[in-house]
Structure 1
Amino acid sequence: MPVWVLLKPTDMMTKGGYMFPRFRNTGLTIRISKNAALKILLIFGSIFGVFLMTGLLYFRNDVEIIDENEKRIVYTVSADPYEILRENHITLGTYDRIDFTGFEENVATATLTIERAFDVDILEGGKKTATAHSVDATVAQLLEQAGVELGEYDKVSPAKTAVLKEGQKIAVTRAYDVKITADGKTTTVKCLDNTVSELLKRAKITLGKNDMVSEELESKITGPAEIKVSRVEIKTEKQDKIIPYQTSTVTSNILAIGQSEVRTKGVNGKIRTTTTTTYIDGVKTDVKKTTKVVTKKVDEVIAEGAAIVTPYCKIDDTSIVLRNGRPVDYEYVVSGKATAYTAPEGAYTASGRMAEIGTVAVNPNVIPYGSKLYIVGQYDNICYGYAIAADTGDGMMAGTIPVDVYMGSTEEHYDDACAWGLQYVDIYVVEVGNG
């Protein structure tokens, strides 16, 4: 005979966000027949079915599912958003994303939002090479998703941190190889519109000031290329050659025979030959020689005296050639007494010339004004030297004194005139004046 245990509902319990009745054992045992038991089971089964149907209606939850532009309300007893989607035969893609608000107190309807991933094409060289799927993913995340790796010098657009919208594409520009040959070896570097200068730096190649590069340093390399660096070494050698000066002598009418002086000091010349040799990658390619006068040679000139004694007048007229202290060429000679005089500074002579050492007084009827003279003592004891007939005086006009030599304008010159006194001289008229 079946035995039944009587259970009594006591309170409600919560499970999975839903309310269910809790039962307890009353301790009362009932023994009934099979027929009675069958009838009781039928009654309880009917009651349970009604309870189940009404309970489901009572304990259900409302969920609004938003799938892109489609919205619908569904009813569920589940709190799991993925279970709710399965109940409603809604399939998620691998990269789709959901947002579920959950069942909150005082909120009648929960919201389950589906964000569908959209395709993003990845282009290289204008051609699609991969596709990624995005829901608020960054460019970097999409490249990783598609297994696209970027080299150090590759570029991507938009930027890696950008979040794409539907319809946008990712463009990858790959750096290309540039070969740089220098110092006997070739280095390959990646390039993307870089200048030659940037690529040399990338290859850690330093240029010397004379080195040559096959491309302009600031030109951009826009595709695979080869660049050659030629090492240029320039060696310079300098060689100096001394050019000795020559010595020459001239005759001086203002120095006594046996005297000499250096008129022009000799200086040795120096010529520098510079040899410039150019080596390209160790091979001699060019040799240039240049010659430059560093120091100009100056020949030394020594004056040797030709006068009998040192002349009073220091005008050295080289047109008057002396031999044994006397002119070789002349028009005529006037011999006689010679006196000396002085005059104040700025005084003029009878011919209109200013009085200065080298002008003398004569009888213009004998020696015309302007005549070029050379006056020397008859006994080789005294010499006035070069003179110009420019003045006159009573003694000259009387014919007693053929010449009166001018000694100067100072007190010292006056002493010279007194020391001269009266001398017997020969007056060589080298060139006759015209008055």
Structure 2
Amino acid sequence: MEDNSGFHNRHLKTLTILAIAAMLVFGIYKKETKEITISIDENKIIVKTLKGTVGELLEKEDIKVEEGGYLHPKSDTKLKDGDEIIIKNPKTYKIKLGKKITEMQSTENIVKDILKDLDIKLGNKDYTYPDLDKKVEPKTQIEIVQISETIDTVKDDIPFENIVEDNIKLEKGKSNIVQEGKNGVKETKIKKIFKNGDLVSEDIISEEVVSAPVAKIVEKGTKEIQKPKTIQVASRGGGTPTRRNAVKAQNVNKKGNMRYKKAFTVVATAYDLSFASCGKNPGDPGYGLTASGTQVRPGVVSVDPNVIPLGTKLYIESLDSTSDYGFAVAEDTGGAIKGNRIDLFFPSSTQVRNFGRRPVKVYILE
């Protein structure tokens, strides 16, 4: 009986030791086992492993990362329970820029992430089809629309105005430039918008007159041209004494036509060198001299300087059947000669008495 009891005890003790060992081994196994999530292109699997690193686990599971793919964390990273391994294999997309389409690979699947992965930078106004936040499938075409702006400055001439002003002092048919014209300058700023290099719009954003135009001012004559008036004197009576020939020569052409500015009728009287006419005797100061200081002579006429200025060349026409007095010069004045009156010099008292007082026509010569 003792022998069986001892055997039983030893057997029980052995079983107890084995149970304890099994429990220890199971505890160690449970402690070393790690639960790892593996995400492959967003497809997730969960595995339990005793492997120590990412690379060892992927090798055991026969999971390979394609060339150019993305792995996080790195293959030599030590694993701990609850870790997630992210694997992104490269996918091909069509990138369209302008008219050019290029196939490129990226591990991402959202447009903005794909462009970032490909190091494609967008300008502030650039945009894409599909939108940046869109998730896309492999082989999808992503169009990049590049928007650029320029501001151009254009300078244009502002034509000057032509101003014509009448000038009553200037003869008709004549003109005078008072001020030369000059074009002004207008500066226009134009904003141009380009889509993938092609102009799609342009807008004027400002206009400024840099310099104002200067008008051209021209004076146009409106004064009526006084055409020379003529009268035929070659065959008229009243010869031309020698001292009057110079006046005649200057004012009568070869056809005997006399040129004059204007003509009007006055009352004419006559005087000579007698005391009754001039109030002086030979030897008196100023005897025989005109108011102009010239020697009195046939052809000298006494006038009112306010009507006919001294020095004016004249022709005196008779208005009756008597001969014309003829060519003369206004060189003298007299106290009684006022307004439309003249006094004609004659060399003798008989001629003065015969002339008397009568109307005559006075021509103001050119």
Output the TM-score relative to the length of structure 2.
0.35
More strand by share: 1
Using CA pairs below 8 Å that are at least 6 residues apart, which structure has the higher relative contact order? Answer: 2
TM-score normalised over the length of structure 1: 0.31
